Every structure is written in structure tokens, then in C-alpha cells.
């Protein structure tokens, strides 16, 4: 097999590394009420992996906000969401849960000198950091070089964002041949296919292992509990494209 120089590992957060239950939806409720002035009757679907700006747009439209008001209200919602989530910091720690094997998997990847672990997530960057820091997971990730929906609402575009940041910091060029996404949703698979990365699907979310494979994931694991297998799949994908 060809030698791999460096490997960018892009972790998804929600339902891959941790799960915060209803907290995100509560934050959407609070932000909508504050910005629009009435309660939201319909909330974004759970576990889809879509970026927060797109979820906010749907939230506004699904609750009868005129399309002409979206350009004015959406930026206000984007600004408010991190503040509302920060106010639920204690709830994150008390109600949130780590996904099985997430800590050991993060440690295993972090310990590989070839691997550069960061995130590509539908979360806004402040929200992502609040979630990771609540469980101490930021210690295993270089969050400076990640891709967040604060950067672009189109999730596949976030792969290039992370690749460019990693190259600027490390001096290594990252492309589809040495970039791997680890995530649980169909959006994670689409992000890899359209954005330029291999995808290891983790069947810890709402999509089954079969569904992830059918969508085009390069490899699928039932969970993160088998760290050696995860590392094996990461290196196998990298070497196969070298």
C-alpha cells in the first residue's frame, strides 16, 4: 500500500459523539419566540444533520413567517442561538449523553500521529464548542481547523473549509484522498460524496447501517465501541486512495 503522509479526520458531533436530547429543540423554541414574538408550533426534525441556518429557515417558513421576512430574521436567529444554548450549559452536562465508545474512539484517533482530528458539523461554531466542551471532547480535536455551519450553510462546502484551514496550519495539502468523515446521518454521507471525502458511517443515529451503506458510505460500523476496527477502516480508506 502507498504511504499516507497526513490524514484529516472530520468528526460529526450530534448522535455520533454525543446526544443532547431535546435541548437543541428547546433552544429553537426560545429563539423563535424571542425573535418572532409567538411560540413555534412546528420544530425542525430530529437527527437530520442539516445545517443550523437551513434548519432555522425551515423553522421560520414552517411556522408561517413570510419568505420576505427571512433575510431580516434569520441572521438574528443565528446570532441568538449560541446565547440561548450557553444558557443551557448545565442542562447539556446533566441531560446530554456520550455516544457509546466515543471517548475511546476519539482518543485512539488522536493518538495516531498520521491523523489530524477535527470536526465538520451542521452546528454553528459556538454551539459546537459548547457541546464538545460540556463533555471535555474538545481536548481530542483541533477545533480551530474545523468546518461549521457558521462558515457555510451548504454542508458539503464545509469539507473544503476544513481542508484549507488544516493546510494553512500544517502545511499539508488535504483532498479527497486523505480526508475521512466519521458521521451517523445521510447528510454526513452526502457531505463526503459532494464535498470530497471518504465516509465512515456510524449507525448510532436515525439511519440504519444498511441505509448508510445504500447512501454511499465507504464503510459502516454499528457504533464507535470498536476503536481498532475504526482505525483500521480509516487507514484502509486512506491507503486505497493514495
Domains of the chain, CATH where assigned: 7-20+97-240 (3.40.50.1000), 23-94 (1.10.150)
pLDDT at 151: 98
What DSSP letter does each residue of 192-228 carry, written as one string?
Answer: HHHHT-EEEEETTSSS-HHHHHHHT-SEEES-S--HH
What pLDDT, on the 0 to 100 scale, is given for residue 237?
A: 86
At 1 the pLDDT is 40
The pLDDT value given to residue 49:
86
pLDDT tens for 47-103 read 788 999 999 999 999 999 999 999 999 999 999 999 999 999 999 999 999 999 999
- Cα separation, 102 vs 107, in Å, equals 9
- pLDDT digit string (tens) for 201-236? 999 999 999 999 999 999 999 999 999 999 999 999
- Measured CA to CA, the distance from residue 39 to residue 74 in angstroms comes to 16
- pTM of structure: 0.95
**Is the CB of residue 119 less than 8 Å from the CB of residue 11?**
yes
Query: How high is the pLDDT of residue 86?
Result: 97
| C-alpha–C-alpha distance, residues 209 and 242, integer Å | 26
Task: For residue 211, give the C-alpha cell.
Answer: 441505509
Res. 2: pLDDT tops 70: no
Q: pLDDT per residue over 150-206, tens digit each?
A: 999 999 999 999 999 999 999 999 999 999 999 999 999 999 999 999 999 999 999
Amino acid at each position: 500500500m502507498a504511504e499516507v503522509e497526513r490524514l484529516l479526520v472530520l468528526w460529526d458531533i450530534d448522535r455520533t459523539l454525543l446526544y443532547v436530547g431535546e435541548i437543541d429543540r428547546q433552544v429553537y423554541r426560545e429563539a423563535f419566540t424571542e425573535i418572532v414574538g409567538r411560540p413555534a408550533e412546528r420544530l425542525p426534525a430530529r437527527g437530520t444533520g442539516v445545517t443550523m441556518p437551513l434548519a432555522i429557515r425551515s423553522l421560520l417558513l414552517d411556522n408561517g413567517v413570510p419568505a420576505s421576512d427571512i433575510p431580516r430574521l434569520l441572521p438574528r436567529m443565528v446570532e441568538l442561538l449560541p446565547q440561548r444554548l450557553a444558557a443551557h450549559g448545565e442542562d447539556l452536562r446533566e441531560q446530554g449523553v456520550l455516544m457509546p465508545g466515543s471517548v475511546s474512539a476519539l482518543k485512539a484517533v488522536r493518538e495516531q500521529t498520521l491523523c489530524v482530528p477535527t470536526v465538520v458539523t451542521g452546528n454553528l461554531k459556538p454551539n459546537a464548542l459548547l457541546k464538545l466542551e460540556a463533555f471535555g471532547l474538545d481536548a481530542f480535536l483541533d477545533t480551530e481547523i474545523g468546518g461549521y455551519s457558521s462558515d457555510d450553510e451548504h454542508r458539503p462546502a464545509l469539507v473544503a473549509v476544513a481542508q484549507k484551514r488544516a493546510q494553512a496550519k500544517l502545511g499539508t495539502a488535504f483532498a479527497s484522498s486523505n480526508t475521512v468523515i466519521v458521521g451517523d446521518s445521510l447528510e454526513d454521507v452526502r457531505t463526503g460524496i459532494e464535498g470530497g471525502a471518504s465516509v465512515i458511517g456510524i449507525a448510532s443515529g436515525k439511519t440504519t447501517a444498511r441505509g448508510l451503506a445504500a447512501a454511499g458510505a465507504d464503510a459502516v460500523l454499528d457504533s464507535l465501541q470498536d476503536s481498532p476496527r475504526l482505525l483500521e477502516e480509516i487507514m484502509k480508506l486512506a491507503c486505497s486512495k493514495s
